A and B are shown apart, each in its own frame.
Chain A
Amino acid sequence: MANPLRPEVVRLYKNLLYLGREYPKGGDYFRDRLRAAFTKNKWVQEPEQIRALIARGQFVARELEALYYLRKYRAMKKRYYEE
């Protein structure tokens, strides 16, 4: 029987995969690690535990967005502003 949280997990995976395409070390590097992280928790059944893992994944997504923003901001600052 499919877990009711399954769509949410799949959405998280897709979202992270999309974010990972811009990863500084390359999309392939990120995808391998992403797959490993999801495979590791493949057999988790407890809904509570799954929710905690989804929250962790969403945290990683936010961190990635912040990383990309900072990287761009620093590049612009270095190029156009002398201080």
Chain B
Amino acid sequence: MSGRVLVGVKRVIDYAVKIRVKPDNSGIVTDGVKHSMNPFCEIAVEEAVKMKEKKLIKEVVAVSCGPQQSQETIRTALAMGADRGIHVEVSGKDYETLGPLQVSKIMAALAKKEDAQLIILGKQAIDDDCNQTGQMTAALLDWPQGTFASEVSLEGDKIKVVREIDGGLETIKINTPAVLTADLRLNTPRYATLPNIMKAKKKKIANVKPADLGVDLTSRLEVLRVDEPPQRQAGMKVETVEDLVGKLKESGKV
């Protein structure tokens, strides 16, 4: 047992920013837009840091795949309490086609290299909403998975996970090493305060290339087009009940 936990953190467009689609429908505008850590990744980091504070694990390693700016996201994780970071540098064309499969290959390779006991990820990212990385990582490593976790407790070499499923909760017990994905209600992530961000600058971030891990980043997906959601139609006022019934009949509602 290494007592090492890998936490995946993704740099996404900030949740409060209004997303704009590029005029040629090839993607969304990312230049000059505020980015921050994916909220579900924050929950994953918090869970790992809490485990460390309870001395259940020894080390929390924050991993992010992406361009140079991803290091800021790793810094935020370090400020929240992670011990060190690994920046897997993916830029340019590769970054544009980087999807859950490629990231899970990287995570699986890193888990083997770092001899991790546990991987904690956010259940999904708020930009592509894929909700696949955790599941794929578990499959590639052939590890058990506890997805949509809303409560996690370590019991010896087993983990008890309470999962959020449709219409209720499911409690499962899985062996380590395992992959967990965090749901919204798992915990309350702490704020990365200014003094902690300053302290985090002393922590180390290792730079790794996907090729060093022996990971092939070719994507099998092709984005055909990206569209904005349909605009909500304006409502109208009717004078009388007859009018209302007439309009409803017209639109085929009654």
**Could you list which residues of chain A lie within 8 angstroms of chain B, going by C-beta atoms?**
11, 14-15, 18-19, 65, 68-69, 71-73, 75-77, 79-81
Q: Are B194 and A14 touching (Cβ within 8 A)?
A: yes
Given A75-B15, A75-B16, A76-B15, A18 and B191 contact (CB-CB distance below 8 Å): no
Specify which chain B residues have a CB less than 8 angstroms from the CB of A19 in the assembled complex.
191, 194
Min distance, Cβ A64 to any Cβ of chain B, angstroms: 9
Q: Please, how many angstroms separate the alpha-carbon atoms of A81 and B183 in the complex?
A: 11
Q: Please, how many angstroms separate the alpha-carbon atoms of A18 and B189 in the complex?
A: 18
Min distance, Cβ A20 to any Cβ of chain B, angstroms: 11
Min distance, Cβ B37 to any Cβ of chain A, angstroms: 11
Specify which chain A residues have a CB less than 8 angstroms from the CB of B39 in the assembled complex.
72, 76
Specify which chain B residues have a CB less than 8 angstroms from the CB of A77 in the assembled complex.
184
Q: Please, how many angstroms separate the alpha-carbon atoms of A79 and B15 in the complex?
A: 10
Specify which chain A residues have a CB less than 8 angstroms from the CB of B189 in the assembled complex.
69
Taking CB as reference atom, which chain B residue is nearest A71? B16
Is B32 at the interface (CB under 8 A from chain A)? no
Is B251 at the interface (CB under 8 A from chain A)? no
Q: Please, how many angstroms separate the alpha-carbon atoms of A73 and B188 in the complex?
A: 9
Taking CB as reference atom, which chain A residue is nearest B184? A76
* Interface residue from A18, A65, A68, A81 paired with B184 (Cβ < 8 Å): A81
Specify which chain B residues have a CB less than 8 angstroms from the CB of A18 in the assembled complex.
193-194
Q: Are B195 and A69 touching (Cβ within 8 A)?
A: no
Q: Please, how many angstroms separate the alpha-carbon atoms of A18 and B192 in the complex?
A: 11
Specify which chain B residues have a CB less than 8 angstroms from the CB of A11 in the assembled complex.
195
Given A73-B184, A80-B184, A65 and B191 contact (CB-CB distance below 8 Å): yes
Q: Please, how many angstroms separate the alpha-carbon atoms of A69 and B184 in the complex?
A: 12
Taking CB as reference atom, which chain A residue is nearest B188? A69
Specify which chain A residues have a CB less than 8 angstroms from the CB of B191 in the assembled complex.
19, 65, 68-69
Q: Please, how many angstroms separate the alpha-carbon atoms of A76 and B124 in the complex?
A: 11
Min distance, Cβ A73 to any Cβ of chain B, angstroms: 7
Taking CB as reference atom, which chain B residue is nearest A11? B195
Q: Please, how many angstroms separate the alpha-carbon atoms of A80 and B1 in the complex?
A: 36
Specify which chain A residues have a CB less than 8 angstroms from the CB of B126 in the assembled complex.
76, 79
Q: Please, how many angstroms separate the alpha-carbon atoms of A56 and B85 in the complex?
A: 35
Taking CB as reference atom, which chain A residue is nearest B16? A75
Q: Are A15 and B194 touching (Cβ within 8 A)?
A: yes
Specify which chain B residues have a CB less than 8 angstroms from the CB of A75 in the assembled complex.
15-16
Q: Please, how many angstroms separate the alpha-carbon atoms of A14 and B198 in the complex?
A: 12
Specify which chain B residues have a CB less than 8 angstroms from the CB of A68 in the assembled complex.
191
Specify which chain B residues have a CB less than 8 angstroms from the CB of A76 in the assembled complex.
15, 39-40, 126, 184
Q: Please, how many angstroms separate the alpha-carbon atoms of A34 and B220 in the complex?
A: 52
Q: Please, how many angstroms separate the alpha-carbon atoms of A76 and B40 in the complex?
A: 9
Q: Please, how many angstroms separate the alpha-carbon atoms of A23 and B51 in the complex?
A: 31
Specify which chain A residues have a CB less than 8 angstroms from the CB of B195 in the assembled complex.
11, 15
Q: Please, how many angstroms separate the alpha-carbon atoms of A68 and B189 in the complex?
A: 11
Q: Please, how many angstroms separate the alpha-carbon atoms of A71 and B194 in the complex?
A: 20
7 contacts between A and B (CB under 8 A): A14-B194, A65-B193, A68-B191, A69-B189, A72-B15, A75-B16, A76-B40
